[in-house]
Structure 1
Amino acid sequence: MGDTGERIKVELEGVPETLLWNLYNRASEAGRPGRRLLDDPLAVELVKRIDYPFERFGGAPMAQWHALRVRCLDAEVRRFVAARPGGTVVALGEGLETQFWRVDDGRVRWLTVDLPETAAVRTALLPDDPPRRRTLACSALDRRWMDEISGADLARGVLVTAQGLLMYLPEQEVKELIAACAERFPGGGFLFDALPRVMVARNRSGAFDSPDGGYRAPRWEWGMDTREYRKVAAVSPRIAEVRSLRLPRGRGPYAVAPVSHLIPGLRSLRMTIIALRFAAAGYRDDGTTTHSRTGRRGTARSRTGRKARNE
């Protein structure tokens, strides 16, 4: 996908505008000289193609933070792609995320679900390529997108991702979305990130607004501390496993990212990336399954009887 030289003007407000903030941070890290944590040439190209005052974000102080999140999520998506050839990734609220191009194996199917104004920007810059890559213009909370997943898709495997999305939703809507996915996609998975409560509080106080007042970050609604990740299993009896993923190693202060959950003082500041596995078909509402579950080394049972692991 080469640069045509034509710049596309993008005008968004509120939560949809954050797609540009995320893109800018990824491109800043990917274009960094020396040791970079992210290889994302398409993000760099998109920033050049978009007519938008990116400087209003006040630089890219969170570029490395975004890069670590992206690398962790990419690794889990690649794991799914390798395990379920021809499977479907449903990317909720994807914005201008370029994950497809970073993990594509030539077979994975990709459905982007985003608000109409955001979907329009995405398809203008990253045109669909059906049947493998499609965009549906609707809210992640609109269950209509679930109807796009066929029985054949379910048989090949489905992974739903919600990167940088759930913090903008009220807690009850987060729970209802996860529960609905667990019901509709047996044997599938759900991958998302959650911000610590202290960071949500800082966002609400304006800590992430640009210093010159040029950009006011939309306020976050929901947060979850790392130590709470096991509680996600209670959202639905169809959640068979909960894993808290380990962040990769970064530069400077971020070098301790993989073990930050073990360090007092940093634990409460750590973002949590969670991978859920839904029970396969044959699950019974009494909390058991018609097939056995084998425990794995390092696996702890939550109070619900389902697996909870911190990786």
Structure 2
Amino acid sequence: MTSDEPSVSVELDAVPETALWTLYQRAAEARRPDAVLHDPKAVELVDRIDYPFAERFGTSAGQAQLQALRVGCFDREVADFLAREPRGTVVCLGEGLETQYWRVDNGRAQWLTVDLPESVGLRERLLPPGPRQRYLAADATDLASWADLVDREHGVLITCQGLLMYLQPARVRALLAGCAEHFPGGSLVLDAVPHWFGRLTRKGKAVSHGYHAPPMPWAMDAGDRELLRSASPAIVGVREVRPTGARGPLAGLVPLALNLSPLAARLPSVAVLDFAER
């Protein structure tokens, strides 16, 4: 932390606090010389924020790497989109303190972050937007508040990273349908926790180092991803995104788990939804 960047005190709880958890995991992985995710901005933020990260969340190299591998799935999809549509728009719903812009931006794309006022206020303090970034304080599930702000001319990719599991199933379904119908030809990247883990959170039993994960009302087993099509006829494609590039024991365990049925169907997952052209 430099002398012109004073520490920032942060107080968050419940779902907004998960932004700090994910930030801490990315930074922990990025500090390693053999990191699977290069994220200097996350390291910078953790060093700057006055918050007891280690005391609150504990330290787990395996957990940090798994989180980084999940994040890498989103990064690859965004990078692939920007390779196809260099002037496209990336819409990040419920982004928290995600630093993806600094990892994969191509210098031409437009970025829109939609998040709750508390989260946007913190993001503006810690990650001031650049000229091609816009932050909007709004309910991400209320498309009327943000959909018309999106430039559709050069393609649209929507990311829902670490968001949908905290919504009620009906709201997830409505959000996916609304995005499919508002952004023809676009795509949406999402992640999901399996049903067994969702049940643990709702019973207050998803605990790590004393930290309780917030209740997750929406869950989806990876083997059921094709059911996402039922949210709207405008969803014409669903595909899996698998983590790559794991290190150490996970380099063998992750591919093995992903290829063992029915285990693979009950793992956390990342999927892309493709929307029909109008």
Q: Which category describes the TM-score, using the shorter chain as reference length?
A: over 0.9
Structure 1 residue 102 displacement after superposition? 0.7
CA distance in structure 2 between the partners assigned to 1:114 and 1:43 by the alignment: 19
Calculate the aligned-residue CA RMSD, in Å. 1.7
SS in 2 for 1:161: strand
2:114 aligned with 1:118, yes or no? no
Cross-structure match for 1:307:
none
Instruction: Give the TM-score taking structure 1 as reference length.
Output: 0.84
Count residues in correspondence.
274
**Alignment match of 1:157 (pick from 148, 155, 158):** 155
Structure 1 residue 231 displacement after superposition? 1.0
2:230 aligned with 1:234, yes or no? yes
AA in 1 matched with 2:94: G
User: Is 2:197–2:206's contact at 8 Å kept on the other side of the alignment?
Assistant: no
1:40-51 equivalences in 2 (<5 Å) = 40-51=39-50
Cross-structure match for 2:108:
107
AA in 2 matched with 1:71: G
Structure 1 residue 78 displacement after superposition? 0.3
Residue by residue over 1:267-291, the C-alpha shift from the partner in whole angstroms, topping out at 9 and shown as x without a partner, is 244211111111112xxxxxxxxxx
Residue by residue over 1:97-144, the C-alpha shift from the partner in whole angstroms, topping out at 9 and shown as x without a partner, is 0001111110011000110000000000111123x1010001111221
Structure 1 residue 53 displacement after superposition? 1.2
1:71-82 equivalences in 2 (<5 Å) = 71-82=72-83
1:284-303 equivalences in 2 (<5 Å) = none
SS in 1 for 2:220: coil
**Alignment match of 1:266 (pick from 263, 272, 277):** 263
Residue by residue over 1:249-275, the C-alpha shift from the partner in whole angstroms, topping out at 9 and shown as x without a partner, is 423442232453321463244211111
AA in 2 matched with 1:10: V
CA distance in structure 1 between the partners assigned to 2:71 and 2:223 by the alignment: 21
AA in 2 matched with 1:189: S
CA distance in structure 2 between the partners assigned to 1:222 and 1:133 by the alignment: 29
AA in 1 matched with 2:42: A
SS in 1 for 2:207: coil
Residue by residue over 1:172-229, the C-alpha shift from the partner in whole angstroms, topping out at 9 and shown as x without a partner, is 1111000000111011111101111112123334443243x3x332111111111101
Q: Of the two, which has the highest radius of gyration?
A: 1
Gap change, CA 1:147 and 1:58, over 3 Å in 2: same
AA in 2 matched with 1:235: A
CA distance in structure 2 between the partners assigned to 1:265 and 1:227 by the alignment: 8
User: Is 2:192–2:270's contact at 8 Å kept on the other side of the alignment?
Assistant: yes
CA distance in structure 1 between the partners assigned to 2:152 and 2:124 by the alignment: 25
Instruction: Give the TM-score taking structure 2 as reference length.
Output: 0.93
User: Is 2:91–2:112's contact at 8 Å kept on the other side of the alignment?
Assistant: yes
SS in 2 for 1:68: helix
**Alignment match of 2:202 (pick from 195, 198, 204):** 204
User: Is 1:15–1:218's contact at 8 Å kept on the other side of the alignment?
Assistant: yes
SS in 1 for 2:124: helix
CA distance in structure 1 between the partners assigned to 2:5 and 2:120 by the alignment: 22
Gap change, CA 1:4 and 1:280, over 3 Å in 2: same
User: Is 1:199–1:269's contact at 8 Å kept on the other side of the alignment?
Assistant: no
Identical counterparts, % of pairs: 50
CA distance in structure 2 between the partners assigned to 1:78 and 1:207 by the alignment: 36
CA distance in structure 2 between the partners assigned to 1:64 and 1:3 by the alignment: 31
- Structure 1 gaps of 5+ residues are 282-311
User: Is 2:238–2:273's contact at 8 Å kept on the other side of the alignment?
Assistant: yes
**Alignment match of 2:250 (pick from 239, 251, 254):** 254
